[in-house]
Amino acid sequence: MAATQLDNEFMQCWSQLGLVEKESLLNVAKNYIHLKEDGNDGDLLRKRIIQKEREAYLNGQGVSYSWQEVKEMAVNKHQRHGL
């Protein structure tokens, strides 16, 4: 597939996405580019992401759920808040 045809197809798909979906895919693309530039493998990237999430949790950033809240969200989809 030619690059211009691929670009056009991508932009058609892109225009159908919402803001949150676009942000999510942009983050995936950025992570992929950084992975490629660093020459790292996927496992190392996953470890870095987990480490960043762990540091945020330990610093009290983000949302934490109790075990009871997790069980209730597992049973009741409307309580999941987009998870």
Assign 3-class secondary structure to 4-22. Answer: HHHHHHHHHHHHCCCHHHH
Written as six digits, the tokens of 33 are 């580019």
- Tens digit of pLDDT for each residue in 25-57? 888 888 888 777 766 567 777 888 888 888 888
* Distance between CA atoms of residues 63 and 56, nearest Å: 10
- Could you tell me if 23 and 12 lie in one domain? yes
- Let me know whether 34 and 49 are in one domain: no
Looking at the structure, do residues 18 and 54 belong to the same domain, yes or no?
no
Segments forming the whole domain that contains residue 24: 1-39
> Which tops the pLDDT comparison, 55 or 82?
55
> CA angle at residue 62 from 40 to 22, to 5 degrees?
60
Q: How many domains does the chain have?
A: 2
- pTM summary value: 0.42
Degrees to nearest 5, angle at CA 16 with 31 and 1: 70
